[in-house]
Structure 1
């Protein structure tokens, strides 16, 4: 096998201005973190709201949330991304379509679509985690809070959700890391995130093995950092006597 190893490929010039491949890789990492971060904010807020709805006494609220989860969990993520990027803008007003297709840069419109699509998809999964956490708590806690005059919103805000999130932090860690890993699909609608930049560098430099090794290491580092953050939060907010909490 006559292969010339080039582990210093990231410091090689790209031939585009004075840039080196490391700059392209860092740009891809930045887009990856932005998409994953925006999608996670959407998923956490919407997923929490839907999880609450799935535990409310109202049948209509439960049906709506259940329908959302059923729909978004059973449609492939890639199909949802293409739907938000290619289909939805066609039903907007003429002015909004002009802004979307011509005023925004292609990378920005693709990023928005990817963040929304990934956020809505992940929200369905977060919803189930929140529902499980709330339902794991003794029913007497909510009943006691209502007996003390708490409104339904106060019961969730001050009694149920703070405990539920402590319980579901471990599974939420998996959803968080999956959210950032799934951000790689944004490359299919033109976002120059990590996977897209890795492919471009590979084609330019012909150092395929090396550059994909570096990309793999980047994903490992990002995921380990997220795991460490969630492990810290789990220790920080652990309540002695609650589920698997230790004193």
Structure 2
């Protein structure tokens, strides 16, 4: 019986002058490892999800009301106000974060102390309390007098939007200052020394050399902070600003469908956070170029890889 008939593959046929005979080899059979624990975990998780879905299906919930109110004009207006206050507050927090991070790292003891005091106060007090303080500022300051630039009644200036913007933006600025400071300190000091040797000023070095490299460290936590801001914006209902939660709560109180409107608000919060999470992923992926050997896989690439793993042909 030949080697081929025995299930073996013959090696290259040696010449007649070869001093030794090359023996044939047997084909390797790869046997995949069975992960039974994964199947058990999947069954348990699916059973729990099925039980949760059954429990909600048996509850006294008017699901038709949820679908009808999902695109209600008042609800959509609340969604827009949520996006607006979140974006504006995050922009304010970014500007203040960069400013106070640079002040914190400054060798000037006055600016460093002021930055530390700002971060200490706004990180150490709840954002809910800060919102109430701004909204009730007229109780201690009846007039905002910035003569000769501006003068007006505090009640006219401190509208619900302004109170919400100051409460969220100043609080976010304290957290962003620490994030930006960590990003700046992650850049090697030799970069700054080299730029100064080329004649760049401190501001040029920060703008052109340090901050672009620090963005790889700053972007991921900043994206998380913005997503958290979307949810924290629900607190501004306490200052009478009609965002998503307040809009749905008003409809729920008028129609007695309180829980159904909370479900509507939850659906929209999930949609918003999901959309911005996708944007955060691609932004992180863009700034990861040059610092990683291979970029993180996109969700579609992961799905394709998982499908190819499931459909992997058996090795004979």
* TM band (smaller chain): 0.7 to 0.9
Give every structure 1 segment of 4 or more consecutive aligned residues whose post-TM-superposition deviation is greater than 6 Å: none
Q: Which of residues 235, 252, 259 in structure 2 aligns to 1:202?
A: 252
Q: Please tell me whether residue 74 in structure 1 is matched to residue 124 in structure 2.
A: yes
1:191 matched to 2:241? The reply is yes
Alignment partners' CA distance in 1, 2:293 and 2:175 = 24
Match of 1:172 in 2: 222
Counterparts of 2:136 and 2:91 in 1: how far apart (Å)?
23
The CA deviation string for residues 19-56 of structure 1, in whole angstroms up to 9 with x for no partner, is x9811111111111111111111001111111122222
Greater mean alpha carbon deviation, residues 20-29 or residues 134-143: 20-29
Deviations 1:158-192 (A, max 9, x none): 00011112222111111111122111111111111
Shift of 1:2: 8.5
Within the candidate set 122, 134, 143, 1:84 is matched to: 134
Q: More deviation in 175-184 or 147-156? A: 175-184
Taking a change above 3 Å as real, the CA distance of residues 66 and 2 of structure 1, as seen in their structure-2 partners, is closer
Is the counterpart of residue 34 in structure 1 residue 123 in structure 2? no
Q: Give the 3-state SS of the residue equivalent to 1:150 in structure 2.
A: coil
Q: 1-side partners of 2:254 and 2:171: how far apart?
A: 34
How high is the TM-score relative to the length of structure 2?
A: 0.68
Q: State the match for 2:183 in structure 1.
A: 133
Deviations 1:209-240 (A, max 9, x none): 32211211111111111111111111223231
* Partner SS for 1:7: helix
Partner of 1:58: 108
**Deviation for aligned residue 1:143:** 0.9
TM-score (norm 1): 0.85
2:60 matches 1:3: yes
Secondary structure of the corresponding residue to residue 92 of structure 1: strand
Q: Please give the alpha-carbon distance, in whole angstroms, between the structure 2 residues aligned to 1:164 and 1:143.
A: 16
Which is helix-richer, 1 or 2?
1
Q: 1:48 & 1:87 partners in 2: Cα distance?
A: 27
Q: In structure 2, which of residues 123, 136, 153 is the aligned counterpart of residue 97 of structure 1?
A: 153
Counterpart secondary structure, 1:30: helix
Cα distance in 1 for partners of 2:212, 2:206 equals: 8
**What CA distance in whole angstroms lies between the structure 2 residues aligned with 1:175 and 1:21?**
27
Question: Structure 1: where are the runs of 5+ without partners?
Answer: 13-19
Q: Which has the higher contact order (CA 8 A, sep 6+)?
A: 1
**1-10 or 117-126, which moves further after superposition?**
1-10
CA distance in 2, matches of 1:200, 1:138: 53
Q: Given that residues 9 and 21 in structure 1 are in contact (C-alpha distance below 8 angstroms), is that contact kept between their aligned partners in structure 2?
A: no
Structure number, greater radius of gyration: 2
